[in-house]
Structure 1
Amino acid sequence: MERSFDLAIVGAGIVGLAHALAAARRGLKVVVIDRDAQANGASIRNFGFITVTGQQAGETWRRAKRSRDVWAEIAPKAGIAIAHAGLCTTSRRPEATAVLEAFLRTEMGEGCELVIGNALGERFPFLAGQQAALWSPHDLRVESREAIPLLAAHLERDWGVTILRKTTVRGVALPVIETSNGVLRADAAIICPGDDFTGLYADALKAAYPALTRCKLQMLRVRTASTGPDLPCAVMSDLSLVRYLGYAELPEAAALRARLEREQPEQLANGIHLITVASADGTRVVGDSHHYAATPDPFGDTKVDDLILDEYEAVFGARPLVETRWLGTYASLPDRAMLREWVADRVGLVIVTSGTGASTSFAIGEETIAEMFG
């Protein structure tokens, strides 16, 4: 017997699951369909860092704030641990400090503070030789490889969402959804393909967004000399201030970029900036780099890892032991953080194109469901 749903979602990454939550909260009968046996893509290969501070001003920042609130609400219900909260964005150059001061003057700086001089060492003793740090209480960190499966289980257990694994969607002609495991029926569909642009509605996607490509990241899990969770918050550095658009679009960032082009050209050429987050087992997740191609090669470059670790050492004063290395990929567009296209009647296609999926997807899902169902 064919199964019928109000909404079919193709893709069980964070974008698809966020749409499923928004739809289930409206009382809709939802099925999520994914070709893999478990989460395996960008949603579990990232920092698990729900980043508000530093996101591009406007829609992306507002979406991040809303998504952070949803994470905080559902995490305890889903059994997802909040590893730590808050962000220290450090500066070791006066040009970087000027960017942080400018950020504080924007609406995005509300609730943040600049910690300078002796107060910095007293409050954040893990920051070696830094000039200043912007402290923000707005950000959260979860362990992605644990959080995404727990979120999926929460949707199944507590919201009645059906999740079909190891199932490929071959075609969508509503109300018919043709899959590798038979036919489903649904009144509406949302396609969340991540960075796979060759499947459903590939021609429409290519025609509308010819610049759409993929970004490859190099990531590290490291261990320091201490035991147990040793960072109370996430940490970024000078390089982050010319990459994260909430800082980089400020006029004051131009002088910092000019200095970094002189002093750290290799890091800039490889799209490197520093994010460091802590795990409960005492390890830290560190990254990352950015390289763009339609089909990124599957190989990590130790020189790139070394450049990441150079920045880590400049902030923390010591080089850690690398335990694990991995690659991530995500969809990328140079001029937008996400795309939402209505590719057919009651069929939407949603892709986060900026590496901000964990940070913004819950808000994006709410917007899409509201637009689709009123």
Structure 2
Amino acid sequence: MHYDLIVVGGGIVGLGHAWAAAKLGQTVAVFDNSPRAEGASIRNFGMVWPIGQPQGAQRALAVRSRKLWLELGAAAGFAVDPCGSLHLAHHDDEWAVLNEFAGSSAAAGLELELVTPERIAALTPAANSNGLKGGLYSHTELRVTPPTAIRLATAYLAETLNIPFHFDTPITQVDTGQVTASNGQTWTAERIVIATGAYFRHLFPEAHTAEKLRLCKLQMMLTEAQPAEWKLGPHIASGLTLRHYTSFADCPSLAAVKERFAKDSPELDRYGIHVMASQADNGGLILGDSHEYDDDVEPVDKAEIDALMLRELQKIMNIPTWNIVRRWHGLYAKHPRQMCFVREVRPEVLVVNGFGGNGMTLSLALSESVIQSWQNAPQWDAFGSS
């Protein structure tokens, strides 16, 4: 069969493109090497995180993605919780950063409150009140449970929007208007999108190499279910997280936060650790995470990293049980200079990749933009890549 669009990659970036095209009335097919989505799209916190995106186009995409997640969840039948986020400050320099951010233009597009320890206690039972200076509460962030959301979104696209999914079908060659699987079978389309995430070496590796993509590994954990009556409330982040997201980069006090951690806990910088928590739909808490890049990425996980993350989480949180029932790692591809890249590698063939840890936050809106712009301007190139 001939399609308007073929998508190679069944993660959130691929699903985003397929959904956007189907909403425009296009015929779509999706292909993936694995029997189901198994990459970074199901191995993350489930945070839709506009507060971490810098003001401007990237923040606008995040806010648009927020709206699209609510739409997709309602259509596909998975929970999308407008839980918000809470950055906790247990040191004066962290509290200074939160005040600077809340009072700056960098906070544009977000609904924020600087909150006292007393207000924090009403927002979440998890915050450690010992030494707590205050917090920054954002109403903007969402929570999904990644494996559930991806599975049900895929089912919705397949069953309601009639998009065929060809899992266990490695695509080994892509040309203008045609994809070929490892068994020699071919399919044709007007346009093709390749969204293979960390597994980018299989198709057009030279295009990915030219973008100088970095491979990143992160370790994460899940606690056993917390008591049924105990709810985390908003996503929780700590002062460590201020080092990680570029939205806080211009806060004058951030340098002091970075210097303190570099001096007192250099092991955290060594493994790129910043700690966050989200609640999964089974009641357990998703905890993480770490960041190891390129040659430091190994197939085995490090117990030291998990221990450091738990150490730092226990400084900022008190929860009923810390018993860990699952540990895993994820891999993602990160662009070194921009939020992602879109590159035309053949006429009517686009590679879309490099979201780093922002895939859940940005990809639905970016995919929508690609499909809409591509339909009107086939040579469209969002980021100046050739």
Length-normalised TM-score, structure 1: 0.94
| Partner amino acid, structure 1, of 2:100 | A
1:30 pairs with one of 16, 28, 31: 28
Q: By how many angstroms is 1:85 displaced?
A: 1.3
User: Which residue does 1:246 correspond to in 2?
Assistant: 247
Q: By how many angstroms is 1:287 displaced?
A: 0.2
User: Which residue does 2:187 correspond to in 1?
Assistant: 184
User: Which residue does 1:73 correspond to in 2?
Assistant: 71
SS in 2 for 1:251: coil
User: Which residue does 1:323 correspond to in 2?
Assistant: 325
**Cα shift readout 1:215-267 (whole Å, capped 9, x = no counterpart):** 00010001376335521111000000011111134333112111221222211
Q: Distance in 2 between matches of 1:143 and 1:229?
A: 17
Cα gap change, 1:228 to 1:350, in 2 (>3 Å): farther
1:280-295 alignment runs, 5 A limit: 280-293=281-294
- Name whichever structure is richer in strand by fraction: 1
| Partner amino acid, structure 2, of 1:30 | V
**Cα shift readout 1:254-291 (whole Å, capped 9, x = no counterpart):** 12111221222211221011110012322100000000
Q: Distance in 2 between matches of 1:229 and 1:335?
A: 41
Q: Distance in 2 between matches of 1:58 and 1:294?
A: 33
| Partner amino acid, structure 2, of 1:24 | A
Q: Distance in 2 between matches of 1:314 and 1:337?
A: 31
Note if contact 1:336-1:354 (Cα within 8 Å) is conserved in structure 2: no
User: Which residue does 1:195 correspond to in 2?
Assistant: 198
Q: Distance in 2 between matches of 1:35 and 1:221?
A: 27
| Partner amino acid, structure 2, of 1:79 | G
| Partner amino acid, structure 2, of 1:335 | R
| Partner amino acid, structure 1, of 2:193 | I
Please list every run of 5 or more consecutive structure 1 residues that lacks an aligned counterpart in the other structure. none
Cα gap change, 1:227 to 1:263, in 2 (>3 Å): farther
Please list every run of 5 or more consecutive structure 2 residues that lacks an aligned counterpart in the other structure. 377-386
Q: Distance in 2 between matches of 1:193 and 1:295?
A: 21
Q: Distance in 2 between matches of 1:317 and 1:232?
A: 13
Q: Distance in 2 between matches of 1:173 and 1:76?
A: 36
1:85-234 alignment runs, 5 A limit: 85-107=83-105, 108=107, 110-128=110-128, 129=130, 130-181=132-183, 182-206=185-209, 208-209=210-211, 211-223=212-224, 226-228=227-229, 230-234=231-235
Q: Distance in 2 between matches of 1:118 and 1:54?
A: 25
Q: Distance in 2 between matches of 1:295 and 1:78?
A: 38
Q: By how many angstroms is 1:8 displaced?
A: 0.6
Note if contact 1:89-1:236 (Cα within 8 Å) is conserved in structure 2: yes
2:44 pairs with one of 23, 43, 46: 46
| Partner amino acid, structure 2, of 1:85 | C
Structure 1 window deviating more from structure 2 (7-16 vs 345-354): it is 345-354
Q: Distance in 1 between matches of 2:136 and 2:10?
A: 35
Q: By how many angstroms is 1:197 displaced?
A: 2.6
Q: By how many angstroms is 1:52 displaced?
A: 1.1
Q: How many positions carry a matched residue from both structures?
A: 370
Cα gap change, 1:63 to 1:294, in 2 (>3 Å): farther
**Cα shift readout 1:147-204 (whole Å, capped 9, x = no counterpart):** 1011111111222222111111121222222123511111110111101232221123
1:287-366 alignment runs, 5 A limit: 287-293=288-294, 296-317=297-318, 320-366=322-368
Q: Distance in 2 between matches of 1:218 and 1:289?
A: 6
Q: Distance in 1 between matches of 2:226 and 2:358?
A: 31
SS in 2 for 1:53: helix
> Root-mean-square deviation (CA), in Å?
1.8
User: Which residue does 2:263 correspond to in 1?
Assistant: 262
Q: Distance in 1 between matches of 2:203 and 2:37?
A: 20
Q: By how many angstroms is 1:70 displaced?
A: 0.2
**Cα shift readout 1:319-361 (whole Å, capped 9, x = no counterpart):** 7111110011100232222111011111110003321111110
Q: Distance in 2 between matches of 1:349 and 1:163?
A: 19
Cα gap change, 1:29 to 1:90, in 2 (>3 Å): same
Note if contact 1:7-1:29 (Cα within 8 Å) is conserved in structure 2: yes
SS in 2 for 1:231: coil
Note if contact 1:287-1:308 (Cα within 8 Å) is conserved in structure 2: yes
Cα gap change, 1:361 to 1:122, in 2 (>3 Å): closer
Cα gap change, 1:122 to 1:189, in 2 (>3 Å): closer
Note if contact 1:228-1:282 (Cα within 8 Å) is conserved in structure 2: no
Identity score, percent: 31
Cα gap change, 1:192 to 1:280, in 2 (>3 Å): closer
Note if contact 2:16-2:364 (Cα within 8 Å) is conserved in structure 1: yes
Q: Distance in 2 between matches of 1:127 and 1:6?
A: 50
Q: Distance in 2 between matches of 1:198 and 1:160?
A: 30
| Partner amino acid, structure 2, of 1:366 | E
Q: By how many angstroms is 1:370 displaced?
A: 1.9
Q: Distance in 2 between matches of 1:126 and 1:177?
A: 50
Q: Distance in 1 between matches of 2:98 and 2:296?
A: 36
Note if contact 2:88-2:136 (Cα within 8 Å) is conserved in structure 1: yes
| Partner amino acid, structure 2, of 1:120 | I
